[in-house]
Amino acid sequence: MRMPARGSVTRRDVAVASFAALAGVAVAVSRSVVGTQGAPLWAELVAQLAGAAMLLWPRLTGPAVVGTALLSWVSPNPATILTAFDAGERLPPRRGAVWATAGALLILPAAPLAFGRSDVAMAAVLVLLVLGPWLAGRSRRAERVAAAALRERSAQAAEHLAAQVRTTERERLAREMHDVVAHRISYVVLQSNLLETKVGDPQVREDVERIRDTAREALEEMRAMLHLLGRDGTPVAIEQPSFRDVAVLVEEARAVGQPVEVDADVVPGEPPGLSERTAVRIVREALTNAVRHAPGAETSVSIAEEDGTLRVAVVNGPSAIPEVEMPTGGHGLQGIRERVALVRGTTTIGPTPDGGFRVEALLPRRDA
């Protein structure tokens, strides 16, 4: 990853250049005082100020390493250390290495010219004054690149998690649509079928058949809409069912010829809690399955609270009436299992020995 280009002078550049100028002036004056200068004081001061000024042009970081190394022939230039560090921090590794190597080689003549001595130790010190800061700058650059990559990965992970949450929520809304809309339309179809058997007028029978076909088409269209919702979910108002709705669900099932017995010794919450809402939706889905797949079968609904656990059971016997053909999306029972799992409950769903079907759930009682 490349570091962002820096084309303008920042406060940091001004501060660093000012420090380099002060340090350089101190070096030049000190050399003059002790009599070790290799050039007149004015020449050394000019060299020091020129080297500090090179720190004010971030775009010339590489050439600044070479320039301050050359100025060190006149006066040992502290700006060389700072430009070498900038080259390591700001430039890509290969470009920085080229400029640092060039600076290290060009600073070698400063030993006899500025210091009046030339030996291996002095040469090694001068080279390290360039390569050492460059390596430190490169390490700082590597840390910044790694931190940026980590932030990017964290952002991607957060975005991925948010997408998963949105997908889960859209799927939940799709199931809610299935539970609410399919339940109502299914009863329209069943009531139409029941009405058709009670009338003899051909025109009325034709109208009833048209109503039933329209309801079936609506079910099919609703199934298709679930896929669209899965791709682009829009917040919708989700109903908050309570135990008071159980009586309504039972009456709807009885109205289409389903004999239903109910035993619900529970008190509705204000507002209904999570377990209560889940229990009512289980009853709705289970009754819908019963009237759809076992029309006319004896059916029982029981809801009871035992030791902080809510027990919901809907059981139907075998049906002697032919099943009414209606479209199904296969979401119902799976939706019950997933909904119960969300509240950390357990389910028992499957056929009974007498040929009927049982949907039972144990839900931890929750207030929200």
Amino acid residing at 187: Y
Evaluate whether residue 277 is within a structural domain: yes
Residues 59 and 149 in one domain: yes
Residues 138 and 253 in one domain: no
Instruction: Quickly state the pLDDT bin for 77 (edges 50, 70, 90).
Output: confident
Evaluate whether residue 162 is within a structural domain: no
Domain housing 68: 11-157
Output the domain CATH number for residue 304: 3.30.565.10
Evaluate whether residue 79 is within a structural domain: yes
3-class SS at 262? strand
* Predicted TM-score (pTM) of this structure: 0.42
Cα–Cα distance, 356 to 319 (Å, whole number):
8
Q: Does the structure show a pLDDT above 70 at 177?
A: no
What pLDDT, on a 0 to 100 scale, did the predictor assign at position 21? 84
Evaluate whether residue 351 is within a structural domain: yes
What pLDDT, on a 0 to 100 scale, did the predictor assign at position 301? 94
Query: Between the CA atoms of 255, 257, 263 and 268, what dihedral angle is there, to the nearest 10 degrees?
Result: -30
Instruction: Quickly state the pLDDT bin for 57 (edges 50, 70, 90).
Output: confident
CB contact set of 19 (below 8 Å; sequence gap of 6+): 82
What pLDDT, on a 0 to 100 scale, did the predictor assign at position 311? 92
Choose between 213 and 232: higher pLDDT: 213
Q: Does the structure show a pLDDT above 90 at 203?
A: no
Residues 19 and 152 in one domain: yes
Q: Could you tell me where the beta strands, DSSP code E, fall in the chain?
A: 260-264, 299-306, 309-316, 346-351, 357-364
Among the candidates 100, 132, 157, a domain finishes at 157
Residues 258 and 125 in one domain: no
HSE-up (13 A, CA, CB side) for residue 157? 6
Residues 245 and 126 in one domain: no
Cα–Cα distance, 262 to 299 (Å, whole number):
9
Q: Does the structure show a pLDDT above 70 at 160?
A: yes
Closest by CA to 331, choosing from 273, 269, 279, 285, is 285
Q: What is the pLDDT of residues 6-46, one digit of tens each?
A: 556 788 878 888 888 888 788 878 877 877 766 788 887 88
Six-digit token pair at 291? 């009237």
What pLDDT, on a 0 to 100 scale, did the predictor assign at position 1? 42
Choose between 234 and 221: higher pLDDT: 221
CB contact set of 302 (below 8 Å; sequence gap of 6+): 262, 263, 264, 311, 312, 313, 314
Evaluate whether residue 125 is within a structural domain: yes
Among the candidates 157, 187, 218, a domain finishes at 157
Residues 140 and 264 in one domain: no
Q: Which residue has the tokens 């791709």?
A: 231
Query: Between the CA atoms of 164, 166, 170 and 172, what dihedral angle is there, to the nearest 10 degrees?
Result: 70
User: How high does pLDDT run on average in the chain?
Assistant: 78
What pLDDT, on a 0 to 100 scale, did the predictor assign at position 358? 93
Compute CA 82 distance to the chain's CA centroid, rounded to the nearest angstrom.
42
Which whole-number Å values give the CA distances from 189 to 100, 159, 180, 291, in the listed order?
83, 44, 15, 11
User: How many domains, in total, are found in the chain?
Assistant: 2
Instruction: Quickly state the pLDDT bin for 239 (edges 50, 70, 90).
Output: low
- DSSP string spanning 204-224? HHHHHHHHHHHHHHHHHHHHH
Please give the helix or strand (H or E) that residue 56 lies within, else none.
none
Residues 278 and 152 in one domain: no
Which whole-number Å values give the CA distances from 194 to 122, 324, 326, 330, 348, in the listed order?
107, 10, 14, 24, 31
Among the candidates 157, 185, 209, a domain finishes at 157
Query: Between the CA atoms of 37, 43, 49 and 54, what dihedral angle is there, to the nearest 10 degrees?
Result: -100
Query: What's the mean pLDDT in 149-156?
Result: 84
What pLDDT, on a 0 to 100 scale, did the predictor assign at position 366? 61
Q: What is the pLDDT of residues 216-228, one digit of tens each?
A: 667 666 666 665 6
For the chain, the farthest-separated pair of C-alpha atoms sits apart, in whole angstroms, at 127
Evaluate whether residue 179 is within a structural domain: no
Evaluate whether residue 234 is within a structural domain: no
Which range among 97-101, 177-181, 187-191, 234-238 shows the weakest confidence by mean pLDDT? 234-238
Residues 137 and 22 in one domain: yes
Q: What is the pLDDT of residues 288-338, one digit of tens each?
A: 888 888 888 999 999 998 888 899 999 999 876 655 554 444 567 877 887
Residues 123 and 251 in one domain: no
Query: What's the mean pLDDT in 151-160?
Result: 82
Evaluate whether residue 5 is within a structural domain: no
Peptide bond preceding 58 in cis form (omega within 30 of 0): no
Percentage of the chain lying above the pLDDT 90 cut: 10
Six-digit token pair at 315? 């059981």
Q: Does the structure show a pLDDT above 90 at 130?
A: no
Q: Does the structure show a pLDDT above 90 at 127?
A: no
Which whole-number Å values give the CA distances from 166 to 181, 233, 344, in the listed order?
22, 8, 21
- DSSP string spanning 298-367? -EEEEEEEETTEEEEEEEE---SSPPPP----S-HHHHHHHHHHHTT-EEEEEE-TTS-EEEEEEEE---
HSE-up (13 A, CA, CB side) for residue 247? 5
Residues 368 and 263 in one domain: yes
